[in-house]
Copies of this chain bind each other. A is one copy, B any other.
Amino acid sequence: MDQLTVAPVARHTLHEDLVGRIRDLIIEGQLAPGTRIHEGQLGEALGVSRTPLREALKFLASEGLIDLVPGRGGVVRQLSAQDVRNMLDVLVALECLAGRLACRTATDEQIKHVRSLHDRMMKLYASRNRLEYYKLNQAIHSAIATLSGNDFLASTHEAIQSRLKRIRFIGNDEPDNWGEAVGEHVEMIEALERRDEEALTEILTRHLQETWKRVRPII
């Protein structure tokens, strides 16, 4: 090992864990948009006191998953159609930047790794394993963001993608939508392997435009 990159012993503070737990509850839909968050109740359900719970809520509020209304606590944020559209526009810009950088700087091994993710995803598509397919789909987008070599870009991308997770998951519900999206992913991986910046940005843009069309009706 040329550098000391060992992860320190995993220290879990309660509020850190809670951020993950609550984020999942929101993404999975157990805490539906608009739901008012009852600190005492949720705290009891999770087996923690209000203090670390409130700290977690502040964190999630900064991420944009929760609105904090003074005197009334937290509410799971409801994304309007316009919000989603806005976020997708930003996501396009970030993914295109990431894609361009990836074409220039990614190693062949890194690209092969994305290809392997892609191939696994295609098998899941063939076997109609929707949940796992979806997870790999997101993983591929994240992987491209990571391939940019720009950590900040990757984490910004991840934050936005995470907020859109639930909506995009529902958007893959329709069978024909699913097939369409798969076709776009094939173009994507091929453009990346050719390191064809123009083609990659074009398909990424188109893919997210199509995502919008797929998602639009369900908002």
Contacts and interface: CB of A to CB of B under 8 A. Distances in A.
Interface in A141-175: 150-153, 156
Sorting the interface of chain A by its residue count into under 10, 10 to 19, 20 to 34 or 35 or more gives 20 to 34
Interface string A86-117: 11011001101100010000000000000000
A13 B97 contact: no
B90 A150 contact: yes
Q: For the complex formed by this chain, how many copies does it contain in all?
A: 2
Given A11-B70, A55-B58, A70-B12, A94 B86 contact: no
A51 interface: yes
Interface stretch (A30-38, A59-67, A124-132, A208-216): A59-67
Given A51-B51, A70-B12, A90 B59 contact: no
Given A15-B58, A62-B59, A71-B11, A152 B97 contact: no
A156 B90 CA distance: 9
A58 to B, nearest CB: 4
A2 interface: no
B16 A83 contact: no
Interface of A: 11-13, 15-16, 51, 54-56, 58-63, 68, 70-71, 83, 86-87, 89-90, 93-94, 96-97, 101, 150-153, 156
6 contacts: A16-B70, A55-B55, A62-B63, A83-B152, A86-B153, A90-B152
